[in-house]
Structure formats: structure tokens, C-alpha cells
Structure 1
Amino acid sequence: MSQYFKEHLKVALLFLFSSIASTAGAATGSMSPELLVALKQINDARLSPDNKRIAFIQNIPRDTRKASVGPDWQELFLLDHKGQMRHLIRGLNQIQQIKWSGDGQQIWLLMRRQIEPFFSIYMIRPDGGEAIKVVARKQHIHGFDLHNDGQSLAYWYPSEQAEQSKTPKLDSVYEFENEPDKNHRLYLLSLAQMDKGEQLIPVDGHVVEAKFAPESQQLLIKKAPSKNQDDIIMRAEYVLSDGISTTTTLVSGLGKLGKAAFSPDGNKLAFIAAQTPSSPDHGSLFLMDIKRQKSQQILSNFEGMITNVLWPETRNLVFSADIGVRSIIASKRANHSSDSYRTLYDGQLIIRGIHSTDSDNNLAVIANSRAHPDELFWFKRGKMLRSSNSNSQLDELNLGLQQVHKFKAEDGVELEGILISPRDANTSARYDTVIFVHGGPESHISDGWIARYSQPVHSLAAMGIQSFLPNYRGSSGRGDAFLKLSQGDYAGAEFNDLLVARQYLLDKQLATDWLGISGASYGGYAAAWCATKFSQYFSAAVSIAGISNQTSKFGTTDIPTEMLQTHALSMPWQSWQKWLQASPIYYSEKHKTPLLIMHGMKDNRVHYSQSLELYRHLKTRNNAPVSLLLYPEQGHHIIDAHTQLDIAERVTRWLDTYRLKASDSPD
């Protein structure tokens, strides 16, 4: 890095990104829950066509002491190759998407200002000035793409006419899962002839996203039969439209679909998808010849998870991948179906996003590490240069000591986990420990920034409590075979792995006999399971948005097909008893572990009635303390900083309370 770049970068970061730690965090040098939920991060980054500038979005949580309840705010920045930073859009806005024009003279974005009811399409020039609203409708626009020639704009939103005409006589009456007028429709607008209005592109079903082909007016459209989440997740397709009347199906019937990238000439398509229709996650890489309409999987034996794919130059694909608890960026010859690839980066960062225009040697990268959440990096000529410092207060905090541990399950399956201990830990110390279980189960914990509102690991470390986060069988990041190890066996070997993790900590003299467990979603299911079926092994538990009854969960979830096709592999009526015995309520008589239950009442993924069932069963038996908290305005994912703070504080308080009450702990 040149001295010129270093000097300007330092000035820019200090001026634009400095953050002030909360009084509590600064006084103690520890990560308080309030500071945790206030952390900023980089959401999106796009390299300019001339490769000399990066436009990026910074996410800013609302101030829990001052601001009203609601989602986070975002601001737009521009970094040039000399290290100079420009603050393009600041203040109380929500920004969801950015894209450069082909000539690099404009940045287009999807934005909703605080005073506006809906997301609209804006344009701003990189040298500054006010953002101009280009397209607005009487409801949210959900996404857009700008053609490289700068003349055509594609975007999608539900039918306005249907929205206006469909006024029910009773506000409380609606037809469940049968609202075709809510499907997103695709529109095309000529920016040179805006007076002619938008053109509706005929697409059957619900438009998830769309992008222009590089050298034509063709549009690659990801669509689903309806806007229902089950359809979007399990039945999505990629189709190619000529923008007029003809649509050709390219990819269909593969199950879960991920991101896609055109070759520079538009004749081929690289895309991420599930290896098989029953695979629990999309982490495999495929290559399609569009003219021949034939696709094949490449890197078929890759024991990892492809997370992003780019096609910046004709010969080479660029992709990022998670391999176990680490991440890589790599390049692969596009005409080779072999498993060979060239590693571009394999370091301490966990890669979350990459973008390039014409080279694998110049990338805008979003990544996190043990020391910080997602930040902007500029990958140039083989070197990864950090370009943002959104939370400078982290440098002054005493974060927990983070280490990777490997251990084996009872049947020999190799497992990994992340241990976070108090910073002053010595080699002979043993700590009270909480096992945090990730959701999914098709997700995983990486050796990067782990702390979040539902797992405040650094706050616990400051209290002398250790955290362990295992990647049990069925986790992603280790290839399709490992991903499928838990299929057809709810709460079987996958949760037995948690007992193995517990015993590993004890055998290695890392933990005391006090072990708690906590998790959200599928992790909440695990916590409820360990507070009932495995109650004798755990001293305290927290279940957030967890499953308590697999049968009624199937009847109330918004993703029943995903549940059956990629996890259960059977219908509940084919084995009622098996489904019941995979439910924590079945073991309510064994409940001896103090359990805190929390759930959002707008959760469509795991309905909050799951927590009602669990609470009622346990409260009636009254074998151990149980508490239920419901959040009326929250869904499956908590997006409000105020609620996140409340959850983080309650998690730490519950675990610490029952750590100190030895008489309430299981023998």
C-alpha cells in the first residue's frame, strides 16, 4: 500500500467511521449487550467499471436510547483508489441495493427515506449532489437491474391495480396462501423514452430477481410459482426472457437455488444450487451452456460450500467458499469441469461478499474476522487491504479469546467448534460454559465474528462464562455428504453431537460441571431438547423461536416442503410416533433445567404457538423454572435493535442467574 493511500485512508476512517463506545463498555473494557447491538457493518460493495472506486453501504443500527423502534438505517459511501472517502448519502435512510451505470458516471440504488412510505429507485452521481428519485410506485419496489448501456431499467413489484382494487369488506379476512395479486411482476423502462411508461414483461408466477445479459436485452429471471416462501426456497427456476414475449426455462427442479453470473459474452451461466433436490442447502457450483441448455456440476467433490460466484473474464470464474470454519476466494477455469482451482485468498478473514468487473486480481470484498464484524476490503494484486473501520471502539475492548477445536462423535464423524474464553484464561483454567447451537440446521459457525444478540459471547466472557459453538452433523460448509448426515433423524445423531461436545469440554478440562445451552430457531429446538430429553446434562437453557412439537410445527410453518424434502424425508402421518418422539414436549416429565423461552409473534417460519406448547407442558408439570416472553411485532429474524438488546440482556441475565444458583442446577 502506498504511503499516499495509507495517509488518506487513515484520515477518511477517523473522520467518517469513528464510533463512540457506550459508557459501560468504555469503563469496563468489555462488550456490553448495548454496545453489541449498536455495532455497524458493511452490507454491500460494488467496484466501479473503471476499477478505481468502490461504492458501499454501511449498516447503522438504531440508537436504543433515543430512536424509535424499527429496522436499521443505511448510508452510502464511495472509496477511490487513492484512499479518499466520500460520504454520498447520510442520515435516516434504508438502502437495499446499489449498482453502477456502465459508464461509471452514476450509482443507482433502491432506497426509502425516513419520510417516505415505500422503497423507490434513485440515482446519484459519484462526485456528490442530491440523490434523484427516478422510479416510485404506490408500494415497495423490491429490486432492480440497470443494463450496461444505461438505457434500460428492469424492476419488480406487486400489481398496483390489484393492490388498489382488492379491498376486503372486513379488514380481518383474507385468503391464506392464495393471493396471486401479491406476486411480484417484472417491468421494463426505457430511460431514453420514459414518457412511454413501463412495459410489463410476461412472467408466469412470482419474480424473485432479474438481471440483464451482458451483450443483449435478454433478462435472466429467477422466479417461483408464488410469493410463498416454500415456493421461493424449493421451487424457484431460472428462465431467460427476450424482454418481449418469449421465455425459455434454463434451470428447474434442482431444489434450492443461489446466485448466478453470466459469462462476459452472455453465452454461459454459472450458478449456485443444491447438489440434489433433497440437499438441505445450495452450496454447489454449476455451469450452463445457454444455447445448448445443458448444465453440469463443477467442483463436484468440493468439501465446502460455494457462497458467491463471479465471471469477470472469459476464461476464469471467481468464487468464494466456506470450508469448515474458514473461508477462501478462488479462481477456476470456466472450461474445465475438474475439481482443480487456484486459491486467491486463504487467510484469517471470513468472506461474505465479493465483486469485480473484469479481473480476479481486483475485488471489492466484504469480510469479518475474530476482531470485527463485516468490513470493506480491497483485494489487489494478491493483497487484502482493509478499507473501512466501522467500529473503532472494538480496538479498546477486552474481547474473549477465540480458538478452533476439533473432536470426534461417537461414530467417528469429525466435528469442529469455536471456543470463546475469558481473555485472561490460562491453560489450566476451567470455566462455566454455555453451548450455543446454530440454526438451520443447514448453517454453520465460522471462525470470524461470532457475537450477535442471540449469542452475546464476548459479554459472557467478561462475566467469566465461556462459550462453545459446535458445527454438529448436518451443518453446511463441509460438502453435501456431511450436510445430509442428519436427514430423516430429527434430534437424533445431530443432537447427540451436542452431548459429545459437552463431554469433550469436560474431558479436556476446559469446562466446569456447570454447562448451559442456548440457541435460536433450530438451535432453539436443540436447547428445548437439551432442557427436556437431556436435562440431566445442562444447568440452564435458553430457547429462542424454537421447535417443541414437530407435528404441529409442520402444520404451521411457511416452508412445509422444505421441511419434508430436505430434512424429515417422510410425512408425519407415515410415522406419527417418530415425529412425536422427536419433539421436546414428549419429554416434559424429564424437565429439570431452568428454561427461558422467547418468540416473535409474527414468526411464520416457526410459529410462536411452538413456544406456547412448550411453556404450557413444562409449566403444568412445574419441575423446574420456566419463563416465556413474546414479542408482538417481531418475526423469525429480529431486525429491531431495541428487541435485540432486550434479548441479549435477558440471555446473559438468565444464564448468569442460574449459574449462581447452585441449588437449581442439575446434579
Structure 2
Amino acid sequence: MTATKRCIRAEDLYQIRYTSDPQLSPNGKSVAFVETMIDEQRQYRNHLVLQSLDSKDLTSLTVGAVRDTFPRWSPDGATISFVSNRSGTPQIWLIDAKGGEARQLTRCKTGVSNPIWSPDGKHIVFSSMLSPEDSFSDVEGESKKEVQKVIVVNRMKYKSDDHGYIYDKSKQIAIVNVESGEMRAISEGPYNHTVGAWSPDGEWLAITANRAENPDKQHSIDVYLVPFSGGEWKKVTKSKGTFFFPTWSPDGKKLALIGSESDTHLHAAQKRVWVYNLENDEQTCITAEWDVQVGDSTIGDVRSPGHPNPGAVWREDGKGMYFIASERGNSGIYHTTLDGQITQIVGGSRNVYGFSLHEKAQKLIMVVSDTASPGDLVEVDLDTKEEQRLTDVNHDLFAELELPAVEEIEFEAEDGWKLHGWLMKPVGYQQGQKYPMVLQIHGGPHSMYGNTYFHEFQVLAAKGYAVLYTNPRGSFGYGERFVQACCGDYGGNDYLDLMSAVKYACNHFDFVDETRLGVTGGSYGGLMTNWIVGQSNQFKAAVTDRSICNWLSFYGVSDIGYYFTAEEIMANPFNNPEKMWHHSPLRLAANIETPLLIMHGEQDHRCPIEQAEQLYIALRYHDKAPVSFIRFPGASHELSRSGDPQQRVLRLEYTADWFESYLLTAEKASV
């Protein structure tokens, strides 16, 4: 380590900033984007920033203790709409593109999301979560009824890790007049609807929705065309699979969709680009022969969830589209023609997680992260493919830090499957010395580790650990067969893949001390951590985070449990409880001798805290391994990514302290 630099610390999270959601102006001369940071009160703040592409000057459009997101230009480029919580709940606000005071447009009691301008700039479509007794005209801050003494639940999907207890609420869509503020609902019923895009002539809205007879049991998501002036909806897709992010061709005769027709795989289906032709009602998958996941599947811990996906962005001549895809730990930007000829536009060892295109100006603005950068804007000249970095929001902080080296690895599983991952060296690495190693296991399981910034890995490397992270079967980025290979086989070949990674690292990196190994992961990664320490004593310490230990109880308590288990475990408690118990790490609790730290959020609806409670009590009962249980009040499943900043830092400190007790302390005592 150089004398002028220091190791990164968990609390450096409070200083890290990142950019997102770039939006090029209609004239292509400037870009609006969101900059996210944590303030002195340890609260998230999002501000809108405007950058000139000629002068490169930056202008802060919004400041203060606010969360301003989703900037969108009016068609004439004079106004920018955005979503802000400055009035208490997220509402649509408008601001002059030259700056000034923002004007509040909506005052919906339940807040709004995803506002999109009409082509003539006179209206904005948006969505909101409503109960049957609510309306879009209900004003924020006004309550119609007293606090309920009882709540009657009638739906299976009555809670959500994103929204908490939703009971009978559903996402509805409305249109607001920009001048008068007058609103008109365009959807209703016990169905969730998501804003898509306006047709070029402004006469139709493309939206997505699950309007099945029983949306709790039928999970297809269809695309609908809704006439702006009212009237009958047109259903585009066939209630088979899931489709998202509809975008219109410039002539309004076609729709591009991202999705899959798979009925058996909701989570593990590889997404592709489709085109629906309005003139002949034909739907075609134009990337059918390309075995690559469309969209960004990279997982990180310094980016807000739900980053807007631009979908497939059409060329002006309507002969092709640009889109993001994920492959082998990288996500880049690709172009496809209508006959499926695919070309990579932006590649490299990095994570592109958003972009905006202005074809006339031949400019593309993307947001990019890599292993040493949380996220900045980059301008791409589409003619020359030359790139220019526009922002460097962490320059001052990262100039102080010594960051670890990262090496990409390739190895084979026990059955010969090709596997891929990374080994992050400890900061201050010196040749000839031995270092403890921590295996990190991602969640999902259908996500992807990649060439992106991961604060947790950086903190562990700064503490003196090698960090091994890999994509076992079940991960996106390696083809559809690979991503679906763990379904019905949790704890089988995916477990062997992880152990093969450890074996490879121990055999090929002489600085790895195979007598001092740790393992950790969250969600599915927590499940596999539990499974590993129930199968093996190879690891000297483990940290399980937001985990699953019992599929039988998970079925009825998770917000996705009853249908997730059907796809992922291929069983339910009624047709094959033995299989569900077989894949449950709780079954192995009596075998666990590895010191285990259990951490869990108390408001986690995805993997509810009863999973952690069961595991903790079982380990205490068997009294074979040191175990500690850390509960985070108010925390959801997003604890480690977008949860309370102070809880995120505490979680990192507890993790590092646990590993230090079992992987570093013994070494220090023997010196």
C-alpha cells in the first residue's frame, strides 16, 4: 500500500455517490440524470443534474433533503418532469430545463411512479397503488377513514417486499393534463398495470398488466394497447409468459417487447427481444437464436433497485433496435436488425446499467460501473465508437483509497461444466504471504456477479481477505440451459459448483490459506451458506444473510413463496413435502459445526425473518457450533443494497468482525 493511500472502510459507504437514469434532451445537446448520495443525517438523497455535452458544464437542477428521480424531458425540451418526495409522498413535479422553482403537478394520496409525456406534451401518464375505495383525486395528507382495527385478507398476494402489506391494493394508471392538473383513470380492477409507452401519434398507450381471471395463480404479464380517447383495449400478447417495456417503432406500426413465452419459468426464463406487428397481428422473437439474457442481470450493492430499463430503443428508420444484454459477468449495449442480426455496440469488462440514445446526433449516453467505480456517465460517439467519461462523482474519495486487484478465473465443475468467476486479492497483498479467503454467494439465484463495484467485497479485501465470487449454475449470463440448471436441484450441482470454485482457488493461488476459509451470502446466497456448513466443515466461519432454511414454511410466508417454490424446487407441501424438506438446510442443522452469524431484516417479506428464527433456535438446541443472531428492525430484503444506510454499515461491520474472530484472531495469537 502506498504511503498516501488508505484502505476502504465500511463507513465510506456514506460518501459513495453514483449516477443513474440518463436522459438526453430532444435536441441532443444536454443530458439530465440522477445523482444519489447519503447526507450527513445518514439519509439517501437523489438530485437531478443537467450536463451540457458541448461545454461539459454541470448544473444542479434540484438540491436539498429530497429524493428526486425519474427525470423526463417534455417533447419540446423546455420542461423536465420528475418524481419527488418533497411534499411527503412521491409526486410528479415540473421544472424549467433552464432551472428555477419546481411546480407540483399531482397530489395523489398514495403517491405516483413512472410518469411519461404524451408526444404533444399536453399530458403525462403515470401509475399509483390504489385500494378499491381509493381514487386518483384523493389528496395526499388527507385521510378518509380511521386506523383499521382489523384487516380482512382475501388475496394470496397481499404483501410485497417492495410495498409492504398491500392487501387489496393494485397498481392503476391515470393520465394528467399538464396545464390544468385534471386527472383521468384509464385502468381499474384487481390487477396490476404498468406504464409502457405512447404511440408516436399519441392515440394509444402500450401498457403491461396481469389481467388473468385469477392473477394470484396465473402469472403471465401481457401487453395491452389502450386508446387515449377511451374505448376497447387491444391485447397484444397471448397470456403465455411475461412481457415488459413495450416501445413503439417510429412509424407506429410495430412494438418491441422484452420477455419470454415460458409458462414454466417465471424467474429463470431468458428474456429476449420480440416484435409485434400491428398490421398483421404477428409476434416474432427476433433474438430467438441468440442464447444471451436481454437486460442487465448484474448484482451490486451501491445501486438503487428498480433502475429504469429503457427496453429496446428503436432506430429512426425502424430497421433495428438498441438494448442492454448480460453475458459472462458483463453487460453491454447491442443492436439487432429486424431479422435478428446482432452487433455489439458497447462491450468491455464492465456493467452498463442504463442508457439514452439520440440517433440524429449520433450520441449515446450510458451509465457504467466496474470493479473500481460505482457508476458514472460515459458519452459514446456512435460513428466512431469513441468514448468520453462525463462524470467522476467519487474522484475525491477514491483518490484516497488503495483498491484491490481483481483476477478473472475460469475452471471446471465436477461434471465438466465450464464455470466462471473472480478472485479479489487482499489490499496490501505481498507475494509469499498467506491470506484467508471468503467465498461470496450471490442471491437470486438468477442474477449474475460481474465486473461491477461491490462495496462489501472491497471492505473485506481491505480487511486482509481474498474474496472469491463466482457464478454457479442458476446464474444468468451463460445461456438458458445454465440458468435453469439449478431448478429442482438446489444444493445439488450448484453446491458442487461453489465447492469447485473453492478448490480451484486453493490450488491455483498460492497465497490462499485453505485452513482459513469463510463463506457468506444473502437470500439464495444465504440458503447456500446454510447448506454448505450443513454439508462440510471446510469453512472456519460463515455469515448467512436474509436466508432461507425451510422451504416448507417459506411456501406460505414469503411474498413469492407459493409460486417460487413450484418453479425453483419443483414441489409444494401438498404434492411432495419430502422434496421440499430434502432441499431445506434446516434438515442439516444437527451437522453444523461452523461458527455461524445469522443476520436478517425484521420486515423482510421475501425471505421472512421466521426463516432465521428457525435456524437460530435449531442451532442453539443442538449446541454444536457458535451462533449469533442479529436482527435489523424495519429492514426489508433490500437491507444490503438500498436499506437504511446505518444498518448497511453495521451489517458490514458485523460481517467483518465475525470473520476476524475466526479467521484472523487465531493467526494473530500464534504470531
Q: Distance in 1 between matches of 2:373 and 2:240?
A: 36
Q: State the AA in 1 paired with 2:437.
A: T
Give the C-alpha shift of residue 166 in structure 1.
7.4
CA deviation vs aligned residue, 1:340-394 (integer Å, no higher than 9, x gap):
3122122233110011143594112011012201111111231221111111111
Q: Distance in 2 between matches of 1:216 and 1:497?
A: 51
Normalised to the residue count of structure 2, the TM-score between the two structures is 0.87
Contact 2:223 2:246 in 1 (8 A): no
Report 1:297-376 matches (<5 A): 297-307=285-295, 308-313=311-316, 314-334=318-338, 336=339, 338=340, 340-358=341-359, 361-376=362-377
Distance in 1 between the 2:130 and 2:608 partners? 29
Q: Is the 1:254–1:273 Cα contact (8 Å) retained in structure 2?
A: no
> Partner residue of 1:171?
149
Matched, 1:384 2:387: yes
Deviations 1:141-181 (A, max 9, x none): 12321112101221222448824897477435342636775
Alpha-carbon distance change, 225 to 167 in structure 1, aligned in 2, over 3 angstroms: farther
Instruction: Tell me which of 521, 529, 549 is aligned to 2:531.
Output: 529
Q: 1:493: which partner in 2? A: 493
**Maintained 8 Å contact 2:47/2:69:** no
Partner residue in 1 for 2:239: 253
Q: Distance in 2 between matches of 1:291 and 1:647?
A: 55
Amino acid at match of 1:505: A
* Higher helix fraction (1 or 2): 1
Q: 1:88 aligns with which of 29, 49, 61?
A: 61
Equivalent residue number for residue 656 of structure 2: 652
* CA gap 1:563/1:161 in 2 versus in 1, 3 angstroms: closer
Partners of 1:27 and 1:601 in 2: CA distance? 42
**Contact residue 316 and residue 333 of structure 1 kept, 8 A:** yes
**Structure 1 80/26 Cα, relative in aligned 2: closer, same or farther at 3 Å?**
farther
Aligned to 2:301: none
Q: Alpha-carbon deviations, 1:254-313, whole Å to 9, x = none?
A: 434343322112221112113623331453221211333321222223232211421132
Match for residue 173 of structure 2?
Answer: 186
Matches within 5 A, 1:87-486: 87-113=60-86, 116-159=87-130, 162-163=133-134, 167=145, 170-175=148-153, 177=155, 182-192=169-179, 194=180, 197-204=182-189, 205-225=191-211, 234-243=219-228, 244-274=230-260, 276-279=262-265, 280-307=268-295, 308-313=311-316, 314-334=318-338, 336=339, 338=340, 340-358=341-359, 361-380=362-381, 381=383, 382-392=385-395, 393-425=397-429, 429-451=433-455, 456-486=456-486
Identify the residue that residue 613 of structure 1 maps to in structure 2.
614
Contact between 2:402 and 2:427, CA under 8 Å: does it hold in 1? Answer: yes
Give, as a single letter, the amino acid of the residue that structure 1 aligns with 2:175.
L
SS class of match (1:162): coil
Deviation per CA, 1:456-478, whole angstroms, max 9, x where unpaired? Answer: 22222222111011100010112
Aligned match of 1:5 = none
What is the CA–CA distance in structure 1 between the aligned matches of 2:533 and 2:361, rounded to whole Å? Answer: 49
Is contact 1:487–1:569 with CA below 8 Å preserved after alignment? yes
The percentage of aligned residue pairs carrying the same residue is 24
In structure 2, the CA distance between the partners of 1:492 and 1:237, relative to structure 1 (3 Å rule), is: same
Residues 257 and 602 (structure 1), Cα distance of their counterparts in 2 relative to 1, 3 Å cut = farther
Q: Distance in 2 between matches of 1:40 and 1:176?
A: 42
Deviation at 1:44, TM superposition (A): 1.2
Distance 1:222 1:231, change over 3 A: farther
Distance 1:78 1:629 in 2: 42
CA 1:424/1:202 → structure 2, altered by over 3 Å: closer, same or farther? closer
Flag structure 2 segments of 5+ consecutive residues without an equivalent: 159-165, 296-310
Give SS of 2:420's match. Answer: strand
Letter paired with 1:420: M
C-alpha distance in structure 2 between counterparts of 1:509 and 1:594, whole Å: 25
Distance 1:601 1:341 in 2: 45
The residue correspondences of 1:618-657 to structure 2 (distance < 5 A) are 618-638=619-639, 639-657=643-661
Partner amino acid, structure 1, of 2:70: Q
What is the rounded CA distance, in whole Å, between the counterparts of 2:564 and 2:433 in structure 1?
42
Distance 1:597 1:28, change over 3 A: farther
Letter in 2 for 1:645: V
Q: Take 1:129 and 1:351, find their aligned partners in 2: how far apart are those partners?
A: 32
**Contact (CA 8 Å) 1:62, 1:641: kept in 2 or not?**
no
Summarize the Cα distance change of 1:160–1:120 in structure 2 as closer, same or farther, 3 Å threshold.
Answer: farther
